[in-house]
C-alpha cells in the first residue's frame, strides 16, 4: 500500500514524464508536487491534481520522494547537485528516483554523493513507448537494495506493470541500456530487410506483416517496424535520432568497460551517426532507413 501521508515530487514532464506524473497523481493517493521548465505540461498535470511548483527548490521543500524524468545524467546531476537543486534546497527529500536513462558509472557516483547528504538515489529507468506511459503499462528496471526497492515499488506500480528489481544501484540502468541497444539493432536489421524486400518487388507493409507471423516477430517489428518503417513515417516528438545515439553510446561505453568488442552495436551506432549527419536529428530514429535506401558507408 502507498503511504498517502508521503508527499511526492515529479520533475521533468516531457513526452514520457507528463503521462507518468499524471498516473502518479491519479493513482498514488499522495500529494504530488510537479515541476518542468515548460508551463504547458505543468498546467495539464496540475489539471489532473498535481501541485505546480515554480522551481526544483520548491519541490525539494515539499516532497520526501522525488521522481526525475530528464534527458540525461547531465540534467539529473544538475537537478540534484546544482544551484537551488535538491541538495542545496535542504528540504524534506530523502529519496530520489531517477527514471531517466542515465550513464551507469555517473549514476553510481551520484548515489555516493547524495548519500553524503542523507539522500538515497534509486535508478528506475523506463522501457516501452509513449502509449505505455499514458496507459501506465511501462516496464521499469530498478537498481537499489531490497529495502530501497520496496520503499518505492508501490509508487512505481502507478506508472508501470512490469517492475523488475535488477540488483544494486546502477543495475536498473544497465538492463534498460541493453534493452535499448537490442531494439536499435533490431530496427537496423528491419530497415535493411524492408529495403531489400522493396527492391525485390515486395510491399514493405506486407513483408513486415508476414515477418510478424513468423519467427522474426518482435516488439521492435510490431512497433517501430510496422508503425514507422512500413508507412515511411518518422514524426518528431517520438524518440529522436539524437536520443538513440545517446543511449547506444551508453551501451558501447559499458562494452568498453567490460572489454567486449560489440561489433554489431558499433555498426548500428555508425548508421545512427550518419542519419544525424544527413539532417535527421529530431525525427523518430527508424528514419535510419533513409540512409540504408541511399547506400550508407
DSSP state letters, 17-68: HHHHHHHHHHHH-S-EEEE-SSHHHHHHHHHTT-EE-SSHHHHHHH-SEEEE
User: Phi/psi zone of residue 84: left (φ > 0), alpha (ψ -120 to 50 degrees), beta?
Assistant: left
List the catalytic residue out of 92, 134, 176, 237.
Answer: 176
Report the DSSP pairing between strands 160-165 and 138-142: parallel
Cell numbers at 287, concatenated: 528514419
Three-class SS state of 216: coil
Closest to 122 measured CA to CA, from 157, 152, 78? 152
* Active site (annotated) includes residue 176: yes
Distance between alpha carbon 281 and the CA centroid of its chain, in Å? 18
Distance in Å from the first CA to the final CA of the chain:
54
The candidate with the shortest Cα–Cα distance to 193, out of 180, 176, 206, is: 206
Of 232, 225, 242, which Cα lies nearest the Cα of 293? 232
Beta strand 126-127 with 138-142: parallel, antiparallel or unpaired?
antiparallel
Contact yes or no for 169/122 (Cβ under 8 A) = yes
Q: Is residue 68 within 8 Å of 76, Cβ to Cβ?
A: yes
Cell of 242: 539524437
Which positions are catalytic?
176
Amino acid at each position: 500500500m502507498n503511504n498517502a501521508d508521503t508527499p511526492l515530487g515529479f520533475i521533468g514532464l516531457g513526452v514520457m514524464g507528463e503521462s507518468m506524473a499524471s498516473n502518479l497523481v491519479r493513482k498514488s493517493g499522495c500529494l504530488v508536487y510537479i515541476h518542468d521548465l515548460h508551463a504547458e505540461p505543468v498546467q495539464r498535470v496540475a489539471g489532473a491534481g498535481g501541485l505546480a511548483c515554480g522551481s526544483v527548490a520548491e519541490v525539494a521543500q515539499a516532497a520526501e520522494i522525488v521522481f526525475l524524468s530528464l534527458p540525461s545524467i547531465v540534467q539529473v546531476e544538475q537537478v540534484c547537485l546544482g544551484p537551488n537543486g535538491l541538495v542545496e534546497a535542504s528540504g524534506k527529500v530523502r529519496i530520489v528516483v531517477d527514471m531517466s536513462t542515465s550513464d551507469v558509472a555517473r549514476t553510481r557516483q551520484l548515489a555516493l554523493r547524495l548519500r553524503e547528504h542523507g539522500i538515497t538515489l534509486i535508478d528506475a529507468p523506463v522501457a516501452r513507448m509513449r502509449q505505455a506511459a499514458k496507459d501506465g503499462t511501462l516496464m521499469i528496471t530498478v537498481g537499489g537494495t531490497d529495502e530501497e526497492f520496496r520503499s518505492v515499488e508501490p509508487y512505481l506500480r502507478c506508472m508501470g506493470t512490469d517492475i523488475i528489481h535488477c540488483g544494486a544501484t546502477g543495475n536498473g540502468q544497465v538492463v534498460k541500456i541493453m534493452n535499448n541497444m537490442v531494439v536499435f539493432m533490431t530496427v537496423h536489421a528491419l530497415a535493411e530487410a524492408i529495403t531489400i524486400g522493396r527492391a525485390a518487388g515486395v510491399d514493405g507493409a506486407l513483408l513486415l506483416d508476414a515477418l510478424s507471423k513468423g519467427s522474426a516477430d518482435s516488439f521492435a517489428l510490431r512497433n517501430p517496424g510496422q508503425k514507422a518503417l512500413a508507412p515511411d513515417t518518422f514524426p518528431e516528438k517520438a524518440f529522436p535520432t539524437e536520443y538513440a545515439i545517446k543511449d547506444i553510446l551508453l551501451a558501447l561505453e559499458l562494452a568498453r568497460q567490460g572489454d567486449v568488442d560489440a561489433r554489431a552495436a558499433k555498426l548500428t551506432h555508425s548508421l545512427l551517426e550518419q542519419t544525424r549527419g544527413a539532417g535527421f536529428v529530431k525525427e523518430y530514429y527508424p528514419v535510419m532507413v533513409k540512409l540504408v535506401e541511399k547506400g550508407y558507408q
